[in-house]
Chain A
Amino acid sequence: MTAIKIIKLTKSYKNLVAVDNLNLEIKQGEIFSLLGVNGAGKTTTIKMLSCLTQPTGGDALIFGKSIIDNPLDVKKLISVSPQETAVAPNLSARENLELICGVYGFQKIEREKKIEEIVNLLNLQSIIDRKAGKLSGGWQRRLSIAMALISEPKILFLDEPTLGLDVLARTDLWDIIRSLKGKITVILTTHYMEEAEELSDRIAIMRDGKLLLCDTAQNIKQTAKADSFEKAFVNIVKGVNL
């Protein structure tokens, strides 16, 4: 089943086309990565798909709901973990989770059950009553993802989820993302090639707002005639060996 259908999606500013006529289909349960150098249009694409920014052309359907005509319906199906850690600093980790449950309209009993489940899933027991602003970067990121998951979204957008994390925190988060495979459609943007290769079912490479290629990591390496994914990415973005 198709989770996201992107049709000629475009976002232009005065002198810049940030996303140019993007067409893509993403299947339900897929982990899908958007790759590209800075300014490629990855974050703008995610912002449009999550109804934060209005497209200037085209549309996208999230489980059949248009991001332009039905943004409120779309918002009930998605969740976003933004690039920077998005937590309320003076609230405890538990209160942050309660906040998200509340804004999605969960009643008290359901809320407590969901918090318990997500705490167990992401091993948040040791920090659950600590102030979010006092947590380390790794724990804040983990809490941020817990806040994105607790509403049980059908689609989860992760914008640079492991940016600035140490190796251990990063591999921990990879395990969490892997565990979502098949259950939630995950759209991931990242600058880390190994992260995209390790986690993704398919990868889309963008440059200057345009889609250059969309395939599995293995097929992308073959297309780019490269022995590593990083080389393949560089070849594709630079247009070498194609």
Chain B
Amino acid sequence: MRMLTFAGRNIKEIVRDPLTLCFGLGFPLVLILLLSAIQANIPVTLFEIQHLTPGVTVFGLSFMTLFSATLISKDRGSSLLQRLYTTPLSSLDFILGYTLPIIPISVAQSVICYLVAFALGLQISVNVLYSILFVIPICILFIALGLLFGSILNDKQVGGICGALLTNLSAWLSGTWFDLNLVGGAFKSFAYTLPFVHAVEMERALLLGEFTKILPHLWWVLGYAVIFLVLAILLFLRQMKKQ
């Protein structure tokens, strides 16, 4: 009950911020439309709608890090969090209250991306539902990063690191905008040690119904999600104690 009240407040804070709508929904949709238009004129396999949509969906999820980190860092910067620390809310209430509200936002964002993709010719199939379901572990990974950065950075630093650096890095290293084989070498090897390309390849496999191919990628995503979540919880508790 207490946690749900706090989570409800966090949902309202996020969705009432106009930047959320611009970046969280608008930007991925613009990219799908733009790259589909390019693909229509200069056909590139990478930008075919069944390849592009899973990548853009994962790219859109990188904004969840920005949303959660911004919310936490702003709360830390104001006295609101200090006030809430003096109430009967427990540490677990705070962590769940910051994490859970972003899951439905992530799912809604993915659903909208797929609806636009249908309009652009993506075949309607049950595999889309699996793709949307498996968005959940990926969004937990990005939310955990948000909790982690929000616990150590102020809101201006969050804008730079999560808003610019992380969204770009996770996009370049995901194989969404260009085939990693084109660069190859150390860049490709490095990309495959991070979770972003695995998240995209898992989503692509699900959408194409190639379920046997999801497993190595799912473990990478889950492994990183657990590591980031544990780190985030430790850092959040540390700043809570410092407060």
Contacts and interface: CB of A to CB of B under 8 A. Distances in A.
Interface of A: 50-52, 72, 75-76, 78-91, 95, 98-105, 147-148, 151
Max chain A C-beta neighbours (<10 A), residue from B4, B13, B78, B93 = B78
Interface string B86-119: 1111100100000000000000000000000000
Interface in B50-101: 78-80, 82-90, 93
Contacts, number: 76
Interface in B139-195: none
Interface size class, chain B? 20 to 34
B134 interface: no
Contact of B9 (A72, A78, A91): A91
B16 A90 contact: yes
B243 interface: yes
Contacts of A151: 87
Given A72-B88, A103-B89, 8 more contacts: A72-B90, A79-B86, A84-B78, A87-B80, A99-B5, A102-B5, A103-B2, A103-B93
A98 B80 CA distance: 14
B87 A75 contact: yes
Contact of B88 (A98, A105, A147, A148): A105
B83 A86 contact: yes
Contacts of B17: 90
Main secondary structure of the interface of B (DSSP, over half): helix
A100 B87 contact: yes
13 contacts: A52-B82, A75-B86, A80-B82, A81-B83, A89-B78, A90-B17, A100-B87, A102-B4, A102-B5, A103-B89, A104-B2, A105-B88, A148-B83
B89 A95 contact: no
Nearest to A90: B16
Nearest to B1: A105
A123 to B, nearest CB: 22
Contacts of B6: 99, 102-103
A105 B86 contact: no
Given A52-B243, A99-B5, A103-B6, A84 B79 contact: yes
Given A102-B1, A103-B2, A103-B6, A88 B80 contact: yes
Given A88-B9, A88-B80, A91-B9, A52 B1 contact: no
Contacts of B5: 98-99, 101-103
Nearest to A76: B88
A51 B88 contact: no
A89 B88 CA distance: 22
With most chain A CB atoms within 10 A of its CB, the pick from B4, B5, B84, B89 is B5
